Amino acid sequence: MELHIILASMALLMLGSLLSSKLSGIINMPCLLLFLAIGMLAGSDGLGGIAFDNARAANYVGSVAMAFILFSGGFDTNWKSVKAVFAPGALLSSLGVLLTALFVAIFARIFLALASPDTAIRFSWCFLLGAVISSTDAAAVFSILRSRSVSLRGQLTPLLELESGSNDPMAAFLTVFLVELIRHEVASGVSSAWYSYLAIIPQFLAKMVIALALGWLLGRMAVFFFNKLNFDYNGLYYALAAVIVLLVFSLTELLYGNGFMAVYAAGIVMGNRKFVFHNGVGRFYDGMAWLMQVLLFTLLGLLAYPSRVWEAKWVGLAVALFLMFGARPLAVHLTLLRSRFTPHEKILISWVGLRGGAPIMLATFPILAHLEGAGLLFDIVFFIVLTSVLLQGMTIMPLAKLLGLDAPVRPTLRVPVSVEETGDANAESEEITVPPSWAGVTLARLHLPEGALVLLIRRENRFVVPRGDTVLAAGDVLTLMGSEEALKHSVQKLLSPPADAMSS
């Protein structure tokens, strides 16, 4: 097939996926599921008839896509809100993933033995199945929790985002480890002893230490380069942003660390520090993450054969239901046993265990290693993902409301004014919410410090152009521009009683 035909086909598929995102809001279905559906419809078993069975290409594209998705997720993560839930989040993303994989392995071994008593089932194969589907999917969780229709109380959102952004490394490590273990079993003809699995712990810890160290170091270096390079062309800053993700991921893998953990850590470091073109780079990463999600899910949909996936429905359904109602809740409750989260919060955390593109991408590793039963494992995983995204993705907010954990949804408007730090001027921007004590005061009587300027006022679902005689209302969001010192004094001014302004 010629290049222009391949490019046109991919462009049309991705365009269809982008347009389907509007449909997802109407029918209350996660858009990632629609991306998968479009890929499946265009595949060899669907209407498009596109024959795509290159697991290696899907694996490579999936790895790069996950790197950008995780980096963007880390970049948008507020470290101050995450720091309070770092310990339980770290436990969920490591021990929680390991326990989930182990519980699924035990269940799958028993279920398959009962379903096919004449077939010899390796425990390591069942453990591999559990490892592949053990992590929550960052793309699925980020897209749902950061949508305009979802708002959760307390520290649930930062915990779930931290877990989903940092648990893929454990699942990826377990998958690669077990693939090599099974290859050794096949070559030797002997099943591995139980103590062979203990090597998981020190190897994983070593990879995580390397990944976190490199992620922090390379993230700090990236901030330094952004502030010091002073490019003549603004577009080069965005090119540098893309290069950083690829460099962090590949360099960490070369040094035997986990690239997925490193890019997430580097994203957190960069997102929570000030540097030139910070706002624009954040929007660039967000756009790249969505592009990669569309590409990843559409490509994985193409890779699947719906007829084969349907043949694995009973095993897939049984494992999916056990995962949602057994393995994940049990792992969450054991991991958070001594935490301050309430029983209702633990139930919701258990339910927000969406599986997505990451498990399907990890399911290509056994195919690349030519393991026996790798095709069946891929089909089971694909069915589990479809079930998880459809059932869990559509019921998160109804369950949150039932448990009393939903928060009022705050409408987010697209701000028509944006201030970017370019390195040429000492100016920053900040949003400040007007407290009730300042309601009824005109903008001129705020007496903001010299060097601070109100650019825009957001009032409920509309914007107000600021004038000296504009009367402020409680809840107004002021977009200010000025020096760091002037903005600091402005915040202090609004937090103090307006006695001086009212008496003047």
CATH number of the CATH domain containing 466: 3.30.70.1450
Tell whether 162 is covered by a domain. yes
Which CA distances in Å does 446 have to 439, 441, 477, 485?
11, 7, 14, 17
**pLDDT for residue 140:** 72
Of the ranges 152-156, 187-191, 287-291, the best mean pLDDT one: 287-291
What's the rounded mean pLDDT across residues 434-441?
Answer: 82
What's the rounded mean pLDDT across residues 348-353?
Answer: 91
Q: Are residues 486 and 374 in the same domain?
A: no
pLDDT band, very low/low/confident/very high, at 422 (cuts 50, 70, 90): low
What's the rounded mean pLDDT across residues 355-361?
Answer: 87
What's the rounded mean pLDDT across residues 304-327?
Answer: 93
Tell whether 50 is covered by a domain. no
What's the rounded mean pLDDT across residues 457-464?
Answer: 81
Q: Are residues 215 and 177 in the same domain?
A: yes
CB of 452 within 8 A of CB of 430? no
Q: Are residues 459 and 356 in the same domain?
A: no
**pLDDT for residue 117:** 78
Of the three residues 338, 367, 402, the one that is the final residue of a domain is 402
Does residue 415 register a pLDDT over 70?
no
Domain count, the chain: 2
Q: Are residues 451 and 350 in the same domain?
A: no
**pLDDT for residue 504:** 43
**pLDDT for residue 358:** 87
Does residue 130 register a pLDDT over 70?
yes
Tell whether 238 is covered by a domain. yes
CB of 335 within 8 A of CB of 350? no
Percent pLDDT > 70 in the chain is 90
Q: Are residues 182 and 218 in the same domain?
A: yes
pLDDT band, very low/low/confident/very high, at 8 (cuts 50, 70, 90): confident
pLDDT band, very low/low/confident/very high, at 503 (cuts 50, 70, 90): very low
Q: Are residues 104 and 216 in the same domain?
A: yes
Of the ranges 42-51, 68-77, 235-244, the best mean pLDDT one: 235-244
Choose the weakest-confidence range: 87-91, 335-339, 377-381, 496-500: 496-500
Q: What are 464's strand-pairing partners?
A: 457
Does residue 106 register a pLDDT over 90?
yes
Task: Please give the residue range of the domain that contains residue 214.
Answer: 56-402
Of the three residues 367, 402, 437, the one that is the final residue of a domain is 402
Q: How high does pLDDT run on average in the chain?
A: 85
Q: Are residues 385 and 478 in the same domain?
A: no
Q: Are residues 283 and 187 in the same domain?
A: yes
- More confident call, 44 vs 291: 291
Which CA distances in Å does 354 have to 86, 145, 305, 357, 481?
20, 11, 22, 10, 40
**pLDDT for residue 501:** 44
Of the three residues 366, 387, 402, the one that is the final residue of a domain is 402
pLDDT band, very low/low/confident/very high, at 150 (cuts 50, 70, 90): low
pLDDT band, very low/low/confident/very high, at 502 (cuts 50, 70, 90): very low
Tell whether 471 is covered by a domain. yes
Q: Are residues 325 and 474 in the same domain?
A: no
Choose the weakest-confidence range: 141-155, 248-262, 407-421: 407-421
Pull the structure tokens for residue 28.
């209350």
Q: Are residues 339 and 204 in the same domain?
A: yes
Q: Are residues 395 and 450 in the same domain?
A: no
What's the rounded mean pLDDT across residues 357-371?
Answer: 91
Tell whether 5 is covered by a domain. no
Does residue 148 register a pLDDT over 60?
no
Kindly state the helix (H) or strand (E) to which residue 477 belongs, with its residue range: strand 477-482
CATH number of the CATH domain containing 84: 1.20.1530.20
Pull the structure tokens for residue 346.
């633990």
Tell whether 299 is covered by a domain. yes
Does residue 29 register a pLDDT over 60?
yes
Tell whether 45 is covered by a domain. no
Which CA distances in Å does 408 have to 147, 398, 462?
13, 13, 19
Q: What are 458's strand-pairing partners?
A: 463, 477
Q: Are residues 391 and 444 in the same domain?
A: no
**pLDDT for residue 136:** 86
Q: Of 279, 273, 287, nearest to 234 (Cα)?
A: 279
Tell whether 33 is covered by a domain. no
What's the rounded mean pLDDT across residues 272-292?
Answer: 90
Does residue 194 register a pLDDT over 70?
no
